Amino acid sequence: MANSFQKAGFLLWGLCIAIACTACTKGNAETASAEKPIAATAAQTTQHSAPETEANAGKAGVYEGLPQHFSEEDIDRFLSHCGDGVAASQKDTGDTHIKYSGTTNKGKTFLSLKSTGYHPHEVFQYVDEERYAIYREYPIYAGEEAYETNAQYSVGWMFTEPKDFSFATAEEAEKTVRIALAALGVTDITLLRTLYIDHNTMEAAGKKLASDPAYAPIGEPQENNGYTLREDWSEADDAYMFSFGIAVENTPLSTRFEIQDTATYTGSKIIVWYSGNGIDFLSVDMPWKIGRPLQEPQNIISSEEALAIVKNQLDGILTYQNVSYYDPFLEYRYKQEKDTWILYPVWTVKVSYQMMTNADTVSDVMYRFLCVDARTGEEL
């Protein structure tokens, strides 16, 4: 894997490119990614399970989805809550987007990017470039899907041990971040994951990235695998990384970006880095508001039934070797019906496998996320 990809992280222009995608709403709801095997210490780390709710107890409803967009007033209110404000700004209206961006009184940058094409999509970011560059140097976290299927290229798994830092406990920091998101107008959220970015672990992570061949770039060898080794990590670098999902009755919307034959699904995700300086990085991608109920909560199939449906779907694929199934998790997806966006529940099963390439050779480990309609048992 190229070293430039390893260091990518959350880049503003990467999201600008992603937002340009348009979508239909019919198609096979699965995604595949070819990856190398995950280290055993990283493979099973996930917080997808939502709290016990009526949906998780065997019932789930269907809701109208209202794509959320951020006005200049929303952004001003958020910045004011953070003790900040717009210092300079610019607007750009293209064929398929409206971009509002600029710098703040605290020297941070902000970006609001809204799709005006067929598919609704909004991205908002608030970034302390200098602070975030410290963490972006090492590939710690790039979203739920990358964390779970691309962990061998990141060191996020090194930061999962819960701990409280001197500037705030994890609970206090999360509460502060939630209040800031509420000032922006983002309230329907559920916590998916917390990483604890400890300065001592950052030092260890840097040494691992620099010495482990698994993190080496493809091509000519580079000193320290191309990573900059720091020897001056301190408590000032400690931070929490929070990953939130948009919540439908405490069950998260899918965080994955998926492309099928006739459909593109953009995952909903919120990533925030919070340190003693406050918010170093905040990114809200594809936010929704939960609208009126379109179908009252009704019985859904069990996770065991969903898993059986997925296994039956893959059993006949002879080229799949060493297939492993992860526990199904309940989430919501969205689709369009005429002029209405629908949020509906699905069971999703993550599957790892290898492809038989010839008589005695198999591919690297690959992953698919297969979805089953939780109400009907229909393969998606």
What's the chain's average pLDDT? 83
The answer on pLDDT for 334 being more than 50 is yes
> How much is the pLDDT for 22?
34
Q: Mention every residue, 6+ apart, whose C-beta is less than 8 A from residue 312.
A: none
Cβ neighbour number for residue 32 with a 10 Å cutoff: 14
> At residue 276, what are phi and psi to the nearest 5 degrees?
-65, -15
Distance CA 313, CA 306 (A): 11
Cβ neighbour number for residue 329 with a 10 Å cutoff: 20
Task: List pLDDT tens digits, range 17-39.
Answer: 343 333 333 333 333 333 333 22
Report the percentage of the chain scoring pLDDT > 90. 58
Report whether 233 contacts 202 (CB < 8 A).
Answer: yes
Cβ neighbour number for residue 176 with a 10 Å cutoff: 16
Q: pTM (2 decimals)?
A: 0.84
* Range name among 31-35, 91-95, 281-285, 362-366 with the lowest pLDDT average: 31-35
Task: List pLDDT tens digits, range 358-371.
Answer: 767 778 888 889 99
The answer on pLDDT for 55 being more than 90 is no
Alpha-carbon distance values, 251 to 62, 201, 245, 315 (Å): 12, 32, 9, 29
> At residue 360, what are phi and psi to the nearest 5 degrees?
-130, 20
> Containing H/E element for 125?
strand 122-127
The answer on pLDDT for 218 being more than 80 is no
The answer on pLDDT for 303 being more than 90 is yes
The answer on pLDDT for 10 being more than 70 is no
Task: List pLDDT tens digits, range 158-200.
Answer: 999 999 999 999 999 999 999 999 999 999 999 999 999 999 9
